[in-house]
Structure 1
């Protein structure tokens, strides 16, 4: 007589025990051997279902107050083994059986760190090691192994099992959910330790609030490096940073493309004005109300901001300012006269910083940008719970390479440098608007 095929094996190790007993009952009905750890085995056993401790195959007890339960070759070789002759040989030599189903979910790290005044020691004890390893091993080998990390999937899994076998498509979707589960778990852990160890502006910065004052908490952070800016004065809000981090690349690109200091006045995440430091004539100085600024003639940056602010004074009211060069005293004095919420620049002369820090009763926002910072090529955002991603708009615009296809009247001379300059200013400014726009440019603004 042919021998019966070996029983299929399921390993269960769950913190969330929702639906566990119904799952165990269904697996036993399908003649599946159950191996479980700690509290999972206890609950199944107390319900009267046959279950073995994981130690039945590891021959090692749980240790370190439960920190080590399933970390053992007998467990993970059984999960990771493929349907290959070489893998079968290795298992046979070590007397290890294949594992077919892994049911696991993780310690509630998010719930723990959400508690008031949670300590690092308390959080550390909720970092799951064995569970993550089980899930990742099973998900990696989803060509053969089914991994369940969500109790919501137990019902459909059992229905499929009753029909004969779990399909390849189901295993793929379970594996995807499992990888997402461990990724989200690791993200939560990294978030906690970033706030603890790299907060206060190093990699994480708490913001005053989000788009509106009731939208708290709000923060800015980087996952893999330091934030590319420092807060020298004031405290930013969510919209402040959206304005600043859109305004900075505009002025950087303007300055790089045209070789002049550049300035931008931002409101509602779009430029109200942008300009380079083309010298102001006497009429323009009066129009822009800067004729009394000492040292103006020697500051291309101050003249750039006078032009940017003057492009649309009404829309610039309460702006975030971006400046491509170190802020000097004339520029700071112009800003000091205007109603503005903040400024971002690569540096500040000491006296200029003193002038700016006195604005708004000492609460004026002053950000120092790392001018060497280059953002990733791919950018993403979340809207209404949906993740959106796109390639960053890294199109390079220069006066002599970007406008070769401009249509001009027949036999007309080439566009003068001043026109190419103004086309460059307009095109780069439009690059940083949030919708279809028309831009008027003249005299570098």
Structure 2
């Protein structure tokens, strides 16, 4: 026997004599119900579940027979009845509960299998409001919570994946379930209703279009990770159900399990490469520690990869490679020449998969698509005692009205590189400076406390890359440069000028904008302002 906090003893072994089955997802339903029937369990069911079991030749009672009340209001009311909830909530060893059951003809329900209306799927399918509302389940969550609360006596299943283990325990123990099993299933049951209710609340919040007074965040454990950012930290990967293509939705074709840092970096890489339209150009992003160390466009993936790698070949070692197009053999052969942790792409050719397969530890993730760079969404960060929540940075430079603020306007080529640089800067830790030339990053400065330091670091990296490539001068000569936020002083701009930049894109908005613009004009630099900042902390 186990004793709970209220000192009420709970039995370890409980017989299952009657089961109520009411499921939307009928995966495994008939074999499970057949197994229960073979153990002598009486089956009670509702609506479509009742019809499916009857069609399979199983003896099953309609829940209306149990309640003495018909299903009404298009199925909105069918299980919300004392005969159902009394049967689920009654404490079998309590004399008063037993007397109430006898007085009102309530039969105990020992096992409950319920899964809910597909609210999230209906929402994702673009249904109208009335259809979405009708897919908010009421009776299902009420029964699940009732049965899970009374887990001392009731076995509750919300996932068809558990049917087999429950049947196995029943068969091994003469039709009984153990308290440890019922507790585990009750935990899953409350988790399932929490996720469901959170999804409904999230829909209302999005519909209202504001930050609600109460907000729920839930996820389902996808896998327990070996450790977190460091070996002394435990970690798990939870999926929220959001259908945005990326690491959470991808199929891993090969390679060892992803680590915490792999998942974080792969997400950063794929979100960045999605800034580039695959219909216009092939694009590759190489990420290290959540920052890009090389991004490039090309007529082919292999061209884009080699241009991206040239930006910082040292940092690319052990990095993440993200592509905006289907991985082909040529690109795969180039990528595997350098030690790489993860490749993520929308699709992959069979030849490319075979090339990657030769590197047994290299992970290959296929997403089936690219995330929509302009789609709304939320980002969440934990702080002591709370959560910081904001809308996703879905600003797109192509949609902005760029203002030329200098005497010289950028050339068409400079303008394309400026836009490229600003797309990348959006995904670089602040303070961010990004140099671009001919559709490829040639220097990236990230995460510094001052913007001038970021500009200098990016220029120095460009010098190192030029030396490694045997070039006479760094590719920042004649480049376009982006800053994720305004230049507070002219010094950051002047550092970019010293590196050889000829055009600058920045949000503007500094008290010293006039000083910065004047410095640009004095150096013959073209400058455009976006009016949009891209801080990324």
Which bracket does the TM-score occupy, shorter chain normalised?
0.5 to 0.7
Distance 1:141 1:240 in 2: 54
Aligned to 2:66: 57
Match of 2:271 among 210, 220, 225: 210
Q: Work out whether 1:145 is the aligned partner of 2:154.
A: yes
CA offsets 1:397-417 (integer angstroms, 9 cap, x no match)? xxxxxxxxxxxxxxxxxxxxx
Match of 1:166 among 159, 177, 183: 177
Distance 2:41 2:169 in 1: 14
TM-fit CA distance, 1:173: 2.8
Distance 1:179 1:265, change over 3 A: same
Distance 1:227 1:102, change over 3 A: same
CA offsets 1:333-354 (integer angstroms, 9 cap, x no match)? 889988777669xx867988xx
TM-fit CA distance, 1:101: 0.3
Match of 2:115 among 101, 105, 113: 105
Match of 2:42 among 19, 33, 54: 33
* 8 A contact 2:19–2:44 mirrored in 1: yes
TM-fit CA distance, 1:185: 2.9
Match of 1:221 among 378, 381, 390: 378
Aligned to 1:16: 25
Distance 2:170 2:15 in 1: 17
TM-score normalised over the length of structure 2: 0.46
More strand by share: 2
CA offsets 1:348-398 (integer angstroms, 9 cap, x no match)? 67988xx8xxx98665632599xxxxxxxxxxxxxxxxxxxxxxxxxxxxx
Distance 1:109 1:149 in 2: 15
* 8 A contact 2:507–2:529 mirrored in 1: no
Instruction: List gaps (5 residues or longer) in structure 1.
Output: 248-263, 276-304, 370-431, 433-445
TM-fit CA distance, 1:329: 9.0
TM-fit CA distance, 1:328: 7.2
Distance 1:168 1:229, change over 3 A: closer
Match of 1:44 among 46, 50, 53: 53
* 8 A contact 2:452–2:492 mirrored in 1: no
RMSD of aligned C-alpha atoms? 4.8
Q: Pairwise mapping of residues 408-427 of structure 1 onto structure 2 (< 5 A)?
A: none
* 8 A contact 1:11–1:102 mirrored in 2: yes
Distance 2:194 2:138 in 1: 13
* 8 A contact 1:266–1:273 mirrored in 2: no
Deviates more, 1:165-174 or 1:11-20: 165-174
Distance 1:272 1:99, change over 3 A: closer
Aligned to 2:77: 68
* 8 A contact 2:88–2:154 mirrored in 1: yes
Distance 1:11 1:238 in 2: 55
Give the SS at the match of 1:11: strand
Deviates more, 1:7-16 or 1:96-105: 7-16
Distance 2:180 2:271 in 1: 41
TM-fit CA distance, 1:38: 1.0
Aligned to 1:365: 532
* 8 A contact 1:109–1:123 mirrored in 2: yes
Give the SS at the match of 2:448: strand
Give the SS at the match of 1:18: coil
* 8 A contact 1:273–1:312 mirrored in 2: no
Larger Rg belongs to: 1
Aligned to 1:95: 105
Give the SS at the match of 1:70: coil
Aligned to 2:191: 180
Q: Pairwise mapping of residues 302-321 of structure 1 onto structure 2 (< 5 A)?
A: 305-306=451-452, 309-310=455-456, 313-314=459-460, 321=484
TM-fit CA distance, 1:53: 1.7
Distance 1:135 1:238 in 2: 47
Give the SS at the match of 1:366: coil
Give the SS at the match of 1:104: strand
How many residues of Structure 1 are paired with residues of Structure 2 in the alignment?
306
* 8 A contact 1:145–1:171 mirrored in 2: yes
Q: Work out whether 1:128 is the aligned partner of 2:137.
A: yes
TM-fit CA distance, 1:70: 0.9
Q: Pairwise mapping of residues 252-331 of structure 1 onto structure 2 (< 5 A)?
A: 264-265=431-432, 271-275=446-450, 305-306=451-452, 309-310=455-456, 313-314=459-460, 321=484
Distance 1:92 1:239 in 2: 71
Aligned to 1:290: none
Distance 1:212 1:7 in 2: 54
Distance 1:273 1:153, change over 3 A: closer
Distance 1:272 1:24, change over 3 A: closer
* 8 A contact 1:35–1:53 mirrored in 2: yes
